Amino acid sequence: MDQLDLFAEAEAEKTPVPATFTARPKPARTTATPAPRPAPAPRPAAQLPLQTAAPAPAPRPAPAPRPVVIADTEPVSLFADPHPELPSVQTPIPAPRRVAPLLIGNPRDAGQRLGEAVAETWHASNWGGYRMDIPVSIVGGLALFPIKGHTEDVTRIISTSSDYQLLQGYREIYAHTWSRRPDLGARMAPLMGWLTEDGVEEKAYAVRRVTETALRHGILQLTGSPDPYCRADTDVMSWTITSLRSLGAKQGLGEYHTPPELCDLMARMLCPERPEKGQRFHEPAGGTGGMFRSLAQHLREMDLDPADYVWVLNELEPLAAAGAAVNAIVWGLGPNVVIACGDTLAQVDLYEQAVRERTALFEERDEILGRLAVAEAAAQAIRLADRLIGAKAV
């Protein structure tokens, strides 16, 4: 069957921005007036300081709030949904929060700072600790955001969304990914489970804090470029997972991601000449795909397209394998990517098993989308019939 090409960039659409609003001054804080303290007894005249008290300066009037003019159009959210907003633990804010991204500088250093900042924010929230799948899912969802090249508008849209719209937006991102690449979407299952749990709205506060941290540290600048070479400058999934993982967990899993500089050196040593199209690259313990990132960049520097090759990665830990699936799309590795999750030493047929699963997933996706198309066509036919009947009745 024909392979899907997910990496063709769609024409960017302009996103409207909010209407004019006036900055609201912060409300004055009221505190209880303390009881007056008794005046101290006067000191002897000989001990009084010879100092004349200066008059107290007059208080300066507070400046009037200045209007901030943005545009004359109403805001439009990509996360808009007709359902009512779910109960939220978030404290309402008087004005939209605007998250200004930092200057990222070196992409690899920026990726490390992003991972560390996300881990710190998550552990400081009410839901920090053992649920590291949620912050990793947030970083992966932002990296997979379907609109590329409009990072400022996307930041505004996410920052001004309600809690329900924010959670629904992450659901839609992963659903969109599954509809385009069911093989990689299924491997991302560890990143999507929390979105279907009961009481997910109670996690909205922590989710928003992590989202804002990732946006502030340049996640969209690192992964939102139309050029896949720029999107593959760093591995944000690896930095996030390693920053969240405890030292004991790393030792127990034997999980130590290869430094990117060493991956770059190995890619040049193992592939000194231009490989033939269709050649297969196999990584038996791939983590989030750091070696594939370096090799793909090396191929692009030789004016070759990574989509012309076959990429096979095995990984024992499901969360790292999910991160590799996200990276395969972000880095533009093409349609011929197979990611298996299992023990390479104990399961010798991991590749063949992953290929069979991949074929079955594409067939299942096509069947589901076919049923949805038939259902939509039937609903449209019913609407047209009702319209004709109504016209004849008049």
The answer to whether the beta carbons of residues 321 and 354 sit under 8 Å apart is no
The verdict on residue 20 lying in a domain is no
- In one-letter notation, the amino acid at residue 363 is E
Query: Same structural domain for residues 232 and 329?
Result: yes
Query: Same structural domain for residues 257 and 294?
Result: yes
Range of weakest confidence among 75-84, 239-248, 295-304: 75-84
The verdict on residue 322 lying in a domain is yes
Banded pLDDT at 42 (limits 50, 70, 90):
low
50 pLDDT higher than 80: no
136 pLDDT higher than 90: yes
What value does the CA radius of gyration of the chain take, rounded to a whole number of Å? 28
Report the DSSP pairing between strands 310-315 and 67-68.
unpaired
Query: Same structural domain for residues 159 and 223?
Result: yes
Which pTM does this prediction carry?
0.70
- In one-letter notation, the amino acid at residue 44 is P
The pLDDT assigned to 122 comes to 93
Query: Same structural domain for residues 282 and 388?
Result: no
Query: Same structural domain for residues 171 and 241?
Result: yes
The verdict on residue 11 lying in a domain is no
The verdict on residue 21 lying in a domain is no
- In one-letter notation, the amino acid at residue 1 is M
Domain span holding position 183: 107-348
Query: Same structural domain for residues 141 and 229?
Result: yes
Q: What is the pLDDT of residues 143-194, one digit of tens each?
A: 998 665 566 677 888 888 999 999 999 999 999 999 899 999 999 999 999 9
Q: Calculate the average pLDDT of the chain.
A: 77
The verdict on residue 134 lying in a domain is yes
Q: What is the pLDDT of residues 103-135, one digit of tens each?
A: 567 888 999 999 999 999 998 886 555 789 999
Query: Same structural domain for residues 194 and 229?
Result: yes
The answer to whether the beta carbons of residues 6 and 330 sit under 8 Å apart is no
Q: What are the Cα distances from residue 98, in Å, to 17, 43, 75, 93, 219?
A: 12, 57, 14, 12, 15
The verdict on residue 40 lying in a domain is no
20 pLDDT higher than 60: no
Query: Same structural domain for residues 272 and 223?
Result: yes
DSSP string, 113-151: HHHHHHHHHHHHSTT-SS-THHHHHHHHHHHT-S--S-H
The pLDDT assigned to 133 comes to 94
Query: Same structural domain for residues 268 and 375?
Result: no
220 pLDDT higher than 50: yes
The verdict on residue 33 lying in a domain is no
Query: Same structural domain for residues 383 and 330?
Result: no
The verdict on residue 74 lying in a domain is no
Query: Same structural domain for residues 202 and 259?
Result: yes
The answer to whether the beta carbons of residues 104 and 222 sit under 8 Å apart is yes
Please work out, in degrees rounded to the nearest 5, the angle formed at the alpha carbon of residue 256 by the alpha carbons of 269 and 284: 55
What's the number of domains the chain is made of? Answer: 2
Structure tokens at 29: 């804080």
Query: Same structural domain for residues 366 and 343?
Result: no
